[in-house]
Amino acid sequence: MKIRLSFIFILTLAVFILLVLFKSLFENKIYVPEKINNKIENISIREFYSDNDLELKNLFNNNKFILINIWASWCLPCRQEHEHLIELSNANNLTIVGINYKDKKNNAQKFINELGNPYDIILKDVDGTKSIFLGAYGVPETFIIDNELNVLKKYIGPINKENIIEIKTVIK
Amino acid sequence: MKKKLIKFIFFLSILNIVNLNISFADTSKVDEISKNLRCLICQGQSIYDSNSDFALSVKTLISEKLALGNTDDDIYNFLKSKYGEWIVYEPEFNKYTLLLWILPLFLFIFGGFLIVRKVFISRF
């Protein structure tokens, strides 16, 4: 009787753990922090093609908002979110800035050639230190900032369809 | 000619030793600071312990800031402004962390009191 009870207990526990793990497979991989740093610094980042240093404030091109997307050719989730960035590239009022993170120039160029270029400007963060100035954790990561450099939204992980709808509402 | 060559090699080796010492000094300072920082994307590792891209970038940034003449506190404050208090292992003493600092002390005194009481009662 005692053995049977402990067997039932272990079996229930195992089923419970398996259920939790199974459910987590379908969980959303993106994290949207509720509390974000209000403002980012007007830092200079090197341009991908010309090697000129560009200040963030000078990237707005008469648009009210900038979407900063940190990406790399070696990052698989970046491929996953790329189609959504292409979709956003038609949006008004928005400059899309890509920051190529710790990548090889050739590979980054191949990535863009293969999947399309949603970016108005591409910058590069060769050693990852510029991303720290933005308060980023890695790739992919996406920020929406206004022309006062206030961070309106921050997405840690690949952005999805729902996020695109949200971004379009923010930049209206 | 031979003497000149020997002198030249000797000069180069001194330069190399000086250079090595400088880089060792820098590395040890970076290590010291990075041991006090939490790797935010790793499980229970410090920036010093981790080889993740995030940790490596933070280490590079620390050495860059040290080269610019920033102090330890400048670097901690900079990283706290970007990632919050959580990035440093030792939290600041403020109204939000009051309980964190006071509670262990309180438990220590309370536990001590219980032990003393138990010993006292059992003896007398």
Taken in order of first residue, the domains within chain A and their CATH numbers are 44-170 (3.40.30.10)
ipTM above 0.95, yes or no: no
Task: Flag whether pLDDT at B14 surpasses 70.
Answer: no
Q: What is the mean pLDDT of chain A?
A: 91
Query: How many angstroms separate the Cα of A142 from the Cα of each of A2, A31, A125, A155, B109?
Result: 55, 11, 15, 5, 49
Residue A131 near chain B (CB below 8 Å): yes
Task: Flag whether pLDDT at B10 surpasses 80.
Answer: no
Is the CB of residue A122 less than 8 Å from the CB of residue A130?
no
How would residue B22 be classed by pLDDT, with cut points 50, 70 and 90?
Answer: very low
Residue B40 near chain A (CB below 8 Å): yes
First-to-last C-alpha distance (Å) of chain A? 67
Quote the minimal CA–CA distance from A4 to chain B in Å: 37
A127 → closest Cβ in B57, B79, B82: B57
What tens digit of pLDDT does each residue of A38-51 get? 788 999 999 999 98
Residue A74 near chain B (CB below 8 Å): no
Q: Could you check whether the bond before residue A140 is cis, i.e. omega within 30 degrees of 0?
A: yes
pLDDT for the residue numbered B100 = 83
Residues in chain A within 8 Å Cβ distance of B83: 135
CA closest to A103 among chain B residues? B53
Task: Flag whether pLDDT at A13 surpasses 50.
Answer: yes
Is the CB of residue A156 less than 8 Å from the CB of residue A37?
no
Q: Which residues pair with A47 in a beta bridge?
A: A123
Mark yes or no for CB contact A137/B60 under 8 Å. no
- Indicate which of A129, A134, A154 best probes the interface with B, i.e. most B CBs within 10 Å of its own CB: A129
What tens digit of pLDDT does each residue of B63-106 get? 999 999 999 999 999 999 999 888 999 877 778 788 888 899 99
Is the CB of residue A125 less than 8 Å from the CB of residue A51?
no
B82 → closest Cβ in A127, A128, A132: A132
pLDDT mean over A120-140: 95
Residue A73 near chain B (CB below 8 Å): no
Residue A102 near chain B (CB below 8 Å): yes
Residue B80 near chain A (CB below 8 Å): no
Residues in chain A within 8 Å Cβ distance of B30: none
Residue B51 near chain A (CB below 8 Å): no
